Structure 1
Amino acid sequence: MAAVSEVLDLVAQMKAAEESFVLATVVRTVSVTAAKAGAKAIIRPDGSIVAGWIGGGCAKGAVLKAARDALADGNPRMVSVQPENLLAELGVKPGETKQGIRFASNLCPSKGTMDIFVEPVLPHPALVILGASPVALSLAAQARPLGYHVTLAAPACDLAGAPAVDMLIDSFALGALHEARRFVVVATQGRGDEAALRAALAVDADYHAFVGSRRKMVALRDKLIAEGLDAARLDRAKAPAGLDLGAITPEEIAMSILAEITLERRRGQRGQAVK
C-alpha cells in the first residue's frame, strides 16, 4: 500500500506527462472502515488503481463509477458509502444524488460510512491553429496563459520567427496531436485556406472554426464539396470564428475566438448548460 507521499509524487509525474486520471481521497469515515480519512488512490481511465488505497469492495465499485463519470464530464464529485439503514434515514436510495453527494450502499459486515472526494485530473485542452496570420499568432499568444496546449501548423516560409507554442508543425499535415479535448481554428486568411480547412476537418475536435466571412466560407464549402469532401464534415466548421463582439484588430478577433471556445469548454460545468 503506497504512502500518501508516494501517491502525491506519482500525481505530479502523471500531471507532467499530461495523463488523464482521478485522484480519490477519503475525507470522512464513521465507525469501522478499511480506509481512514486522508487515504488516497490514483485511478486510470480504464478503472485500474495504480497507487494508493481507499478500502476494499465496500467502496471500490461506487468510487470507480464516480471516477468514470468525472473523467467524462471533467467535474469532481463526492461519494458517500453508507449502510442501507442510514441511507433510509436520509431518505435516499443507492445511486441517488442529493445536495451534490452521490450515495452508495455499504453491504459489508463492518457497516461503516466513508465519504470519498473524486477529483478528475485532465490534460491541458489542446488548441490547434492552422495558419500564420496575425490572428493565428495572436490566438496562440493569448491561449497559452489560459492553460491551453497550443499547436501551430503553417508552412515555415510563412513565419517571420519562432512563435512561443507547445508544438510547431511545418505544413498543414497535422499528424499525431496532443491527446486532450481539442479546439481547432483555421486562421490562414488567404494563404492555404483550402488545404488547412481539409486538414482541420479531419481532426476529431469539440470545436472547428474558420477565420473569415460567411461568404468566403460558402465559396470554400461549394468548391470542396465539388471536389468530393463530405458536406456534413464541412458543416462542422463555424464561420466566422468567434463571438460577435465587434472585434476589429487581430488581438480582438483572437479574444473573441477564445471567448467562444471558453463557452464550449465550460459548457455544463457551472451547474447548468451555457446558452
Structure 2
Amino acid sequence: MGQKSDILKQVADLTSAGESFALATVVRTVAATAAKAGAKAIIRADGTVLEGWIGGGCARGAVLKAARDAIADGQPRFVSVQPEDLLAEQGVLAGSEKEGVRFARNMCPSKGAMDVFIEPVLPAPGIVIMGASPVAIALAEFAPRFGFHVTVCAPEPEQAAFASADMRIDGYMLDTAQPREMNVVVSTQGRGDEAALRAALAVRSDYVSFVGSKAKAAALSDSFRERGVCKDRLAALVSPAGLDIGAITPEEIALSILAEIVQQRRRRQRKMAASAERAGR
C-alpha cells in the first residue's frame, strides 16, 4: 500500500499545483523483468522520475522519452519493450510505431518484455480575462464549460459582476510564472484599456487578444512600440479578438473568442504530435 499511497498523494499535489506530468503504468510483463504489472511512476516534463519505479535501465530510456513526448502533445503513449529476437519475429524495429504501440529494444540479459501505458496529466488551460465588460462577463461564464481555469482581472468594485471564477485579481497585475497554458483576453472596452493591455503584453502567454476595433488596437500598439514594448509580443496580439463568425452580441463575441483559442491550441497540439512522431521514427 505504501508506494501506491505515495503515488496518489504526489498526483494530487502536482495536480493542485498545476504542474504537467505523466503517469507511467506497467500493464504487462513477460518472463523476467524487474518491474511487475501494476508498477507505477510519476515522470516530470524534464524526464525525471519523481516517485515510483518501473524498472531499471532496460526500459527507462524508452519510457522517459515517451513520457516527455506525451506531456508535450497531450497524447497518451503505449510502449512495448522487448528483446531483439521478439521484435524481429513481429517484423518491427526498435523505435518504430505500429497500431498505436511504440516498440523499444530490451538490451538486458533478462530478455524479458514489458508493456507500459503512459498517460499525460496536464493542468487545465488557463484563460485570463481582463476587464468587466459584457463580453468579459460572458467569456467568464462560457469558459469553464470548455475546461478552462478562469482568472478574472478587474478593479475590486467591478468583481461583483462575475458570478464565479477560479481566481480573482484586483486590478491588472498578472503572475508572470503561470505553470499552465495561458490565454489572455483584454476586454476592458474603454475602462483601463492601456493599463490592461500593457500588463497582458508583459507576460508570457500562448494567446493574447484585445476586444476592440483595429484602429484602437493599432493606436495602443504604436504607443507601446514607442515605449519599448517587445516587438514580438506586439506582433502576437490578436485584434479584433475572435474568429469572424459575424458576432454581434456580447455572448456571440465571447463564443468567437473561445473558438479562436480552441482552434489555436488544437493546432499547436497537432504540430507537437507531428513533431514527436517524426522524432520517434
User: Structure 1-normalised TM-score?
Assistant: 0.90
CA drift at 1:192: 1.4
Match of 1:217 in 2: 217
CA drift at 1:78: 0.9
Opposite residue 198 of structure 1, the aligned amino acid is R
Q: Distance in 1 between matches of 2:188 and 2:67?
A: 40
Deviation per CA, 1:20-67, whole angstroms, max 9, x where unpaired?
221001122222222222221112234332332212211111111111
Q: Distance in 2 between matches of 1:127 and 1:142?
A: 11
Structural mapping, 1:1-275, within 5 Å: 2-161=2-161, 163-176=163-176, 178-267=178-267, 269=269
SS in 2 for 1:102: strand
Q: Distance in 2 between matches of 1:160 and 1:112?
A: 62
CA drift at 1:145: 2.9
Q: Distance in 2 between matches of 1:158 and 1:13?
A: 33
| Structure 1 pair 269–2 and aligned structure 2 pair: CA distance change class (3 A) | farther
Opposite residue 219 of structure 1, the aligned amino acid is A
Q: How many residues end up aligned between the 2 structures?
A: 273
Opposite residue 15 of structure 1, the aligned amino acid is T
Q: Distance in 2 between matches of 1:228 and 1:11?
A: 42
Q: Distance in 2 between matches of 1:20 and 1:230?
A: 28
> Any unmatched runs of 5+ in structure 2?
275-281
Q: Distance in 2 between matches of 1:256 and 1:198?
A: 23
User: Structure 2-normalised TM-score?
Assistant: 0.88
Percent identity, please.
Answer: 62
CA drift at 1:270: 6.4
Asked if the contact 1:2/1:51 (under 8 Å) is kept, the reply is no
Which is further off, 220-229 or 194-203? 220-229
Q: Distance in 2 between matches of 1:230 and 1:10?
A: 38
Asked if the contact 1:2/1:53 (under 8 Å) is kept, the reply is no
Asked if the contact 2:140/2:162 (under 8 Å) is kept, the reply is no
Asked if the contact 1:132/1:188 (under 8 Å) is kept, the reply is yes
CA drift at 1:242: 1.0
Q: Distance in 2 between matches of 1:4 and 1:267?
A: 36
| Structure 1 pair 80–260 and aligned structure 2 pair: CA distance change class (3 A) | same
> Any unmatched runs of 5+ in structure 1?
none
SS in 2 for 1:235: helix
| Structure 1 pair 159–42 and aligned structure 2 pair: CA distance change class (3 A) | closer
Opposite residue 79 of structure 1, the aligned amino acid is V
Q: Distance in 2 between matches of 1:136 and 1:147?
A: 17
| Structure 1 pair 169–268 and aligned structure 2 pair: CA distance change class (3 A) | closer
CA drift at 1:203: 1.2
Which is further off, 3-12 or 117-126? 3-12
The structure with more helix, counted as a fraction of residues: 2
Which is further off, 124-133 or 30-39? 30-39
Opposite residue 106 of structure 2, the aligned amino acid is N
| Structure 1 pair 176–235 and aligned structure 2 pair: CA distance change class (3 A) | closer
| Structure 1 pair 224–270 and aligned structure 2 pair: CA distance change class (3 A) | closer
